[in-house]
Structure 1
Amino acid sequence: MSDWGPVFVAVVLFILLTPGLLIQVPGRNKCIEFGNFQTSGASILVHSILYFSLICIFLLAIGVHMYLLHLSTMADWGPVVIGVVLFVLLQPGLLFQLPGHNRQLEFGSLKTNGKAIAVHTLIFFTLYAILILAVHVHIYTG
C-alpha cells in the first residue's frame, strides 16, 4: 500500500516555499519581499531550511500519512531528504528555468515566473512520487 502523505506534503511545501512566489526571505531590496518572482542563493538557502523544518514537522513529528494502514513505527527520513534535495535543485532560476523569460529554457537566471513555478512543481511532483512511491526510497532510523 502506498503512502501519499509525504508526496502531498512535499508538493504543497514546494509550491508555498518557492522563493518569489508568495514570499522571498531575504528579498532583493528588503529583508522580506512578497510576490516579486525573484530568487537568490541566499533566499534559496533560507527557504530550504524552512522547507526542511516544516517537512520534518509534518512527516516525522506529526506523521502525516494518506493510506489505510500504518505499516511502520520507525522514522523514515527518505521522504525528507529527497524532498529537500529536490526542493533546492528544482527552484526555478537556480540551475534552470523552464520556461524562461526570453527563451524556453534558461540557466542560472535567478528569476522566475508563474509558468516556470507550475512546470517545476510538476517536475518536482513527478520525481518525488517516482522516488517515494515507485522506487520506495527509505532511510529508517530507530
Structure 2
Amino acid sequence: MNIINITHTEAFNNITKLLARFALAALFILTGLSKVEFYYATAQYMATMGVPGVLLPLVIALEVIGGAMVVLGLLTHLTALAFAIFSIVSALLFHFDLAEQTQFLMFYKNIAIAGGFLALAASGAGKYSLDQLLLKDRS
C-alpha cells in the first residue's frame, strides 16, 4: 500500500482536519477553563506583563467559546485566523524573553500553534464540521 495514495484521499483529509481541530482546540479550552479557576492570579500575571486584567474575560471567551467553535468546525476560517493572531500576540507579550530557555520554547510553541491555525484557516474544517453542514463549505 502506497502511503502517498492514502494521504491524497478525501477521507484522509477530512479525518486529519477533524483531528487537527480537536488537538488545537483542546489546549485553548483547557487553558481557558484554568483561567476561570485561577481568575485573580491570571489577571495579576497579565497586569505584571503590561496587559490590563480587564481583558481577561475576553481572553477566556476566545479560548473557551472559540475553542468549542474550532472543535465543532463552526466559522472555522475566521476562528482559526483569530487564534493564529492571538497565539502570535501572546508569544510577543508573554514569552519574548528569548534568552531564557523556557520562554524561548514557549515563544516558538505559540508560533507553531499559529502555524497550525493558519493551515486550518486556509484549508477549512472539512466534511465533519458545522461549516459543511450549515454553510456548505466544501474546503
> Scaled by the length of structure 2, what TM-score is found?
0.31
Structure with greater strand percent: 1
Structure with greater helix percent: 2
> Scaled by the length of structure 1, what TM-score is found?
0.31
Tell me which structure has the larger Cα radius of gyration. Answer: 2
